[in-house]
Structure 1
Amino acid sequence: MLQNNKKQKSLNRRFLLILGAAAFVCFLVLGLMIIFWAKLPLDMPQYQRWIFGGVIIIYSIVRFSRLLKKEPDEE
């Protein structure tokens, strides 16, 4: 019989993982909408929309990477 030495994540940790993944998807979609959706009512020139959307996408990636980073007490 195989033994699995990994601990199961707590309910609180799993909830925060799901919530963080949902926030990642929302920020990613928001950034893409700002960049590519021309009818979005923002009073900005196109280059500012690219910069603003890019910053939001970078922020979502940073949030997701911090979400997946293993904490020292979970090793």
Structure 2
Amino acid sequence: MNFDKELDARGLNCPLPILRTKKALAEMSSGQVLKVIATDPGSVKDMQAFAKQTGNELVSSAESGGEFVFFMKKK
């Protein structure tokens, strides 16, 4: 998937992946896509809740080898 910016949140625990995602999205334009890589298992539910609360679109999420990859489109 194409993305405009990548955020490496590996090794960070809740709430840091969400806080960094929020900051990264704030620096982006509407319609741009942020790729987030995290290792915190709680980030799966956190990203879903964050998308609902903020109106940003969680385009996809996947897990591979203990890493979670999210693609979030800015509203």
Give the TM-score, by structure 1 length.
Answer: 0.29
Larger radius of gyration between Structure 1 and Structure 2: 1
Q: Is the helix fraction higher in 1 or 2?
A: 1
Give the TM-score, by structure 2 length.
Answer: 0.29
